């Protein structure tokens, strides 16, 4: 069998002496959308930050495409296809929409491929395309989220780490963002690790889910099972 795209083995990490992540284990394959769910403080953001090299693991292993990621700096991870969209989005308000998008492709070496990606991203997000000469700070929250997503897609990721894309968005816009994510996945085989407080919307887009509690992954299951199995939902998601 081929290696999973991402394999996390007994991962431990934190910000000081006390670990936040404790023996986290899970795997995901190409083209899979995995939701990471769990209460505030469960360690979801820390998991993404550790996977993208911003927090150093204190134990365990992260294998991306069969290769260990330990100590690989974040910009090199982007070249290898692992792109992180942090909570709060991080678009640069003073730059135009088009400039923000180009920044996402800055690590690429194939200029023709980059131009193709720009066309594809503008195609995927027509609202963004219409406003590409505007400064990013003029966009609405939903448009900024789409811009952040578009900028990440410009790097042609194989795995996107997406933190709370629904934060501050109206439900209709959240649904739109989730649908676009699925559309891009279907077209490119992108894998997404999606951290979400909005459990319903995450389960509507994900194939699988990992539920975290107190720094551990306490259950992994197909998203449909978590959606439909009342006992599982009660036990792990509290509704």
Residues making contact with ligand ATP (CB under 6 A): 15, 20, 38, 40-46, 197
**CA torsion angle 239 6 114 143 (round to 10):** 10
43/105 with CB nearer ligand ATP: 43
Q: How far is the CB of 55 from ligand ATP (least distance, A)?
A: 8
Q: How far is the CB of 94 from ligand ATP (least distance, A)?
A: 26
Q: How far is the CB of 199 from ligand ATP (least distance, A)?
A: 12
Tokens of 75: 């910009």
Q: How far is the CB of 188 from ligand ATP (least distance, A)?
A: 27
Q: How far is the CB of 14 from ligand ATP (least distance, A)?
A: 7
34/45 with CB nearer ligand ATP: 45
CA distance 72 to 105: 19
31 Ramachandran zone, left/alpha/beta (phi>0; psi -120 to 50): left
- Count CB atoms within 10 A of the CB of residue 67: 11
Closest listed residue to residue 199, CA positions, set 236, 172, 231: 236
15/183 with CB nearer ligand ATP: 15
Residue with tokens 């996977």: 51
20/97 with CB nearer ligand ATP: 20
Tell me the angle at which helices 141-153 and 111-124 cross, rounded to the nearest 10 degrees.
150
Q: How far is the CB of 131 from ligand ATP (least distance, A)?
A: 30
CA distance 151 to 79: 14
1/238 with CB nearer ligand ATP: 238
2/40 with CB nearer ligand ATP: 40
CA distance 37 to 206: 11
């Amino acid at each position: 069998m081929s290696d999973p795209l991402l394999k996390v083995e007994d991962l431990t990490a934190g910000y000081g002496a006390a670990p936040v992540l404790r023996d986290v284990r899970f795997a995901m394959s190409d083209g899979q959308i995995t939701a990471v769910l769990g209460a505030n403080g469960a360690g979801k953001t820390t998991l993404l930050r550790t996977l993208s090299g911003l927090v150093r693991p204190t134990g365990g292993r992260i294998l991306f495409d069969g290769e260990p990621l330990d100590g690989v700096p974040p910009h090199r991870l982007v070249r290898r296809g692992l792109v992180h969209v942090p909570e709060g989005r991080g678009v640069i308000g003073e730059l135009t929409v088009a400039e923000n998008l180009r920044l996402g492709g800055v690590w690429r070496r194939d200029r023709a491929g980059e131009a193709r990606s720009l066309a594809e991203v503008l195609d995927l997000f027509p609202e963004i395309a219409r406003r590409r000469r505007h400064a990013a700070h003029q966009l609405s929250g939903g448009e900024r989220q789409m811009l952040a997503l578009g900028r990440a897609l410009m790097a042609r990721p194989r795995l996107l780490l997406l933190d709370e894309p629904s934060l501050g968005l109206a439900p209709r816009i959240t649904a739109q963002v989730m649908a676009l994510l699925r559309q891009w996945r279907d077209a490119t085989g992108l894998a997404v690790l999606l951290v979400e407080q909005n459990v319903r919307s995450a389960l509507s887009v994900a194939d699988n889910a990992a539920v975290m509690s107190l720094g551990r992954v306490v259950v992994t299951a197909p998203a449909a099972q978590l959606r439909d199995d009342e006992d599982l939902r009660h036990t792990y998601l509290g509704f």
